[in-house]
Structure 1
């Protein structure tokens, strides 16, 4: 993934003290991120998983409305059967909306740096801030970890070689999306997106609401079987033969409810204790103090009753047409201009994660250098020599 600026203040612009800063018009150009509606919708790499998830949700509801609801409409007086069907449709619409919100929301992508941060930066003595994360100058020899203070407790933050920044507390790099995600919980294959700071509440509401719909269909399929048994004076097996859709949905929703019920309970526990799935797996806070736990009430408030944090990246920023297929060469060669993306594969031997030099073929170096010298000011030769 390449992050570049589409605004007036972009990569290579100078901020206070001569340090490079990120402008307000940032954009992400990546095969791992998919944009729709001019950047209003930001999907993960496996967007096709959405269609499978929608299929697994909507097909059972369609079977319920098409076959099971007939018996319920006839069995219940005063049009209560129609109300039962309407509630299932409302649940389904809400679930689809929550699924799209979960999948199409920026989970909290942290913009990459154009250069490694300054090794002399003293951010480790205090809580990490945006200015600390955005430093983009200095040598590439950096400590792998820093100590920062969170609510009076010292925690370690790691340096991300791919994004060339010290991750904020609770941030982790997703190997599937290839991005650092704030308050990283996990990468969910069912929604095709990372679950992080900005879409966790939608994810929890999606899972819990889908579980409620599954239980709802499960209960009323049994009610339908019971009504058939009473109307035809038959046993349960004959009733299942008369309404095979009820039997199929009972088995399906039973399995789904066990899975989603356990997942809902697990995430309720995480919310109460202010943990993420990643932290629960890696750190086991019951063995030591959790610096992020503010108490049950405040933990719930932080998840459900606070405004959504602003995205660090302006996905709707305009990018010039002549730059739409280019990437920032300064991330790799130390310059401030761009090189055509068709030449990007020729630079694959450079260690772009930490700016180190790797052993490369000298002929390939010379070819790459000749193509980039005019735009980068001759710095390519320094990379290839030696």
Structure 2
């Protein structure tokens, strides 16, 4: 039964594509819907709460509108910096003044792109089964099999064990059965109540990006929060530089300098608070990456007092989390 979950298959969409190019979640998207009518696409029969655009090529969470607020929080201070603070910096630093102002503008565009890559892609969804899993071959009598089949016909999965043991790097871990998706969740998978999906290597559901953070978009989420931290520190630093230049030019104290450039003062306060938030989040996720944990596992104290079977050492943990290959998105394919 569990072997079926990760078995190879081919997809036909005007030709055949080898299953090696698909992730586990993408293979299950096709397998779990292969009894649906022809010419339907995967996103058209999706049972979760996701929102799809561009014929399934963009996969957002149900709270995608929060992106507008997040973009506002990022772009507004940069606009104020470029409009109200930049002119004095350009005059003070001459040749490099334009670069000082251009960098945060271009870096903001980069951050927005990373934000959409985080929010607009499949985080690692495990599509639902059409039926409960089949009984194990070993140790099942014909009467047990008959009862199982009767339960399936009646739409009941009462005989499905709630947990199952699987081996991870030589350590036995328990995986739970999901009654909503009718499958045994792979290790590190969890069901998100907001998106109503089981997600591979589930980290958390982030309201700021309006999407689950999982196996396929975690690296983009980390790039997003770390880049936002750099942007906050940059604006914070150069606003202070601007205040110092005002104090030197007018031979005044800090309070009078702030009165001459109140926007600098507001941006200093804003970016200081924001840097503590996203900076702390970045530091926390650096720790999680180095120890190969997820936020969900860490908050539930999964490895307190016992070994983490996913911890492969610092270098391999970073490589697996940040630099491993991401399979192509297949939600726009036709279901066969």
TM-score bracket relative to the smaller structure? 0.7 to 0.9
1:200 equivalent in alignment to 2:236: no
Asked if the contact 1:31/1:45 (under 8 Å) is kept, the reply is no
Tell me, in whole angstroms, the C-alpha distance in 2 between the residues paired with 1:302 and 1:318. Answer: 31
- Look up the match of 1:237: 255
- Structure 2 SS opposite 1:107: coil
1:1-386 correspondence runs (5 A): 21-22=31-32, 26-27=42-43, 28-30=45-47, 32-78=49-95, 80-120=96-136, 140=157, 141-311=159-329, 314-318=330-334
Q: Check the 8 A contact 2:66/2:208 in 1, yes or no.
A: yes
Please tell me whether the aligned partners of residues 117 and 137 of structure 1 are also in contact (alpha carbons under 8 angstroms): no
Q: How many residues align?
A: 289
Name the SS for the 2:161 alignment partner: coil
C-alpha distance in 2 between matches for 1:47 and 1:77: 42
Does structure 2 conserve the Cα–Cα contact (< 8 Å) formed by 1:8 and 1:23?
Answer: no
Classify 1:69/1:21 alpha carbon distance in 2 versus 1 (closer, same or farther; 3 Å). closer
Q: Which runs of 5+ in 2 are unaligned?
A: 1-10, 14-29, 35-40, 139-150
CA displacement at 1:284 relative to structure 2: 3.6
1:351 paired residue number: none
CA contact (8 A) 1:95 1:210 kept: yes
Deviation at 1:318, TM superposition (A): 3.8
Query: Which structure would you say has the larger RCO, counting Cα contacts within 8 Å and 6 or more residues apart?
Result: 2
CA distance in 2 between partners of 1:253 and 1:83 (Å): 20
Q: Distance in 2 between matches of 1:172 and 1:251?
A: 38
What do the CA deviations read for 1:193-240 (whole angstroms, capped 9, x no partner)? 000000000000000000000000000000000001111111111110
5+ residue gaps in structure 1?
1-6, 10-19, 123-135, 321-386
Give the match for residue 5 of structure 2.
none
User: How far apart are residue 23 of structure 1 and its match?
Assistant: 5.8
CA contact (8 A) 1:207 1:260 kept: yes
Larger radius of gyration: 1
Q: What is the DSSP-based 3-state SS (H/G/I as helix, E as strand, rest coil) of the residue aligned with 1:76?
A: helix
- For residues 25-45 of structure 1, give each alpha carbon's deviation from its aligned partner in whole angstroms, at most 9, with x where no partner exists: 644434711111111111000
